[in-house]
Chains A and B, each alone.
Chain A
Amino acid sequence: MTSNYVLFRIAARLFGVKLQGAIEIMAWQRSRAVPLSYSYIEGVMEYRGVIYPVFHLAQLLGFSQPGPIGFTAPQDPGPVKGRSIILLQEGDKSFGITVDSVVKMLPLEDVSAPAADVKGINTKLVRGIRFDDDQEIILLSFERLFHAG
């Protein structure tokens, strides 16, 4: 089966997330920090009356160092060209992710079996690998984050 994916970059690598409902892409803005949240949480933000958790994806994938435990995780990176927040849905969960840049939407063949290890990233989120013009796309799923703790 084929689904639409949104592709984005973090630390120069290409990632994709399956679209399962509404999607909203906006320029990065500072979220409301929640003290004592998980280190990969940027905070919460309100959009059209809904409050979304915002994941700092680079940190979640293991690309950047976590801040001191419990403290408002990532420091304000200031205006960075292309940096965006994507608001997504997966199942009944709505959330935001911070990415370095949004690339495009693309239909891709779904993956059924989890991929083998992908070097250098937190594989708990990896659903599989696809290719677009020989470029590797790492497909992610966030559902497991909501069962943490």
Chain B
Amino acid sequence: MDLKTRYLIILLQGESFAIPITSLLEITVPRNIQRDPKLSEIFEGKIEYRGTLIPVVNMKKVLKLPGNPGTGLIVIKSSKGVLGLLVDAAKELLETAQKPVPIPRGVLNPSLNYYVGILRNRDHLVLLLNEDGFLP
């Protein structure tokens, strides 16, 4: 019996994306984002989280999606440290024994390392994000 993995499904422009629950620290709302012109354009600024300032990433900028930055904040830990991701919503938990299916060849420039693969959630496909891949 395969071990099940849990993922948080997040919404961006109506589409589902996933991050592994092991990266997740908190689901909250963004408050008092402090602009920091030194950060690259995928960052909205910094926010206080448990006494320290963490960078906040606008996921729509990362994925070149249109629309406002999003009103949900997911705090995660990545290999680059603790950071916040702005998303439209945290939708649900997906618990599954599936292994992510790699994105088929011919879809993306192979140097783009933004996705781990594809997961199935009921009747639709979810893109599993590789948070280490899109951070500068």
Question: A-side interface residues toward B, CB under 8 Å?
Answer: 32-38, 41, 44-46, 51-53, 68-72, 93-95, 145-146, 148-149
Contact = CB atoms under 8 A, between A and B. Distances in A.
A20 to B, nearest CB: 16
Contacts of B106: 38, 41, 53, 93, 95, 145-146, 148
B125 A93 contact: no
Contact of B109 (A38, A44, A51, A95): A38
A32 B15 contact: yes
Contact of B125 (A32, A36, A148): A32
Interface stretch (B33-41, B68-76, B110-118): B110-118
A93 B118 contact: no
A145 B106 CA distance: 6
B31 to A, nearest CB: 27
B13 to A, nearest CB: 8
A149 B108 CA distance: 8
Contact of A93 (B63, B105, B115, B127): B105
Nearest to B108: A37
Interface in B33-85: 63-66
Chain B CB within 10 A, most for which of A34, A69, A95: A34
B112 A51 contact: no
B104 A53 contact: yes
Label chain B's interface by main secondary structure: loop
B120 interface: yes
13 contacts: A32-B125, A34-B127, A35-B65, A36-B108, A41-B106, A41-B107, A53-B105, A70-B64, A71-B65, A71-B66, A94-B104, A95-B106, A148-B106
B29 interface: no
Nearest to B134: A36
Interface in B1-36: 15
Given A32-B124, A149-B110, A51 B104 contact: yes
A2 B131 CA distance: 50
B93 interface: no
A44 B111 contact: no
Contact of A44 (B64, B65, B103): B103
Given A32-B15, A36-B112, A44-B118, 18 more contacts: A32-B118, A34-B115, A35-B15, A36-B63, A38-B107, A38-B108, A38-B109, A41-B106, A44-B125, A45-B125, A46-B120, A46-B125, A52-B104, A53-B105, A53-B107, A95-B106, A146-B105, A146-B106
